[in-house]
Amino acid sequence: MAKRFLLALATVLLFPPALAQPDTARPPSARELGARFEEVKQDRKAAEALFKTGRKVAAVCAHCHGEGGNSLKPDIPNLAGQNPSYLLEQLRQFAEGRRRNEFMEGMIKAMNSDEKIGMVLFYAAQQVTPLPPPNAALAARGREYYDKVCFRCHGSDGRGNEQMARIAGQQPDYLRTTLRRYRAGNGVRVNPLMASNTRLMTDADIEAVVGLCCTNGGAVG
């Protein structure tokens, strides 16, 4: 597994993604992946085995997403503490081209179902490293906005739930870009709930919410 994986990474890093050699195996359908995930959740032994697989997979991802999924780059998302079903859904979106990022689309093609499930189990169990404390005034504005709109789905602490994305402690540049993409509706990230919840946001609202969410020390954390 590790060898095939490193090969995929090297291929993608050395050649433009369009030329990368995807795994020749048919990618698992969303239904197959979901069914396998349910099966693993009921089976402690299988979950433990896949957790170890996930740790190996994560060693490759660490080049960008950081050790244990705590990214050191503000424009690359943390995967640490992220919720498993949300992560699996993003993998499906990359695989199906519904979420656009050439590198990630190539990377996902090199993973089988068990590697995907192991990876999400591993990351969900990692602690998020707190980022530096927020600018208090900005975070207070962010809190006001967050408590009116975002808490309904992402929870008042920003941790989401099994299905819903965690946004507490997420990298600031990534959060800003992501919110702008949902708002722009340009097809890079498409989600009707996030489109309607960002439509009325001004740039200043986005900055304030990012100032709150990217910190792990504030009330969202």
Residues that bind ligand HEC (CB under 6 A): 57, 60-61, 63-65, 76-77, 79, 82, 87, 89-91, 101, 103-104, 107, 119, 149-150, 152-154, 165, 167, 170, 175, 178-179, 189, 191, 193-194, 197, 209
Judged by CB, which is closer to ligand HEC: 42, or 135?
A: 135
Query: Min. distance of Cβ 206 from ligand HEC in angstroms?
Result: 8
Judged by CB, which is closer to ligand HEC: 65, or 143?
A: 65
- Are 182 and 195 within 8 A, CB to CB? yes
Judged by CB, which is closer to ligand HEC: 42, or 192?
A: 192
Query: Min. distance of Cβ 63 from ligand HEC in angstroms?
Result: 4
Residues 6+ apart with CB under 8 A from 155: 161, 164
Closest CA to 28 of 89, 95, 87: 95
Judged by CB, which is closer to ligand HEC: 30, or 153?
A: 153
- Are 220 and 157 within 8 A, CB to CB? yes
Judged by CB, which is closer to ligand HEC: 42, or 148?
A: 148
Query: Min. distance of Cβ 47 from ligand HEC in angstroms?
Result: 17
Which pairs count as long-range contacts for 22-29, CB under 8 Å and 24+ apart, including other chains?
A: 22/106, 22/109, 22/110, 23/109, 23/110, 23/111, 23/112, 25/112, 27/95, 27/108, 27/109, 28/112, 28/113, 28/116
Counting every residue, how long is the chain?
221
Query: Min. distance of Cβ 46 from ligand HEC in angstroms?
Result: 19
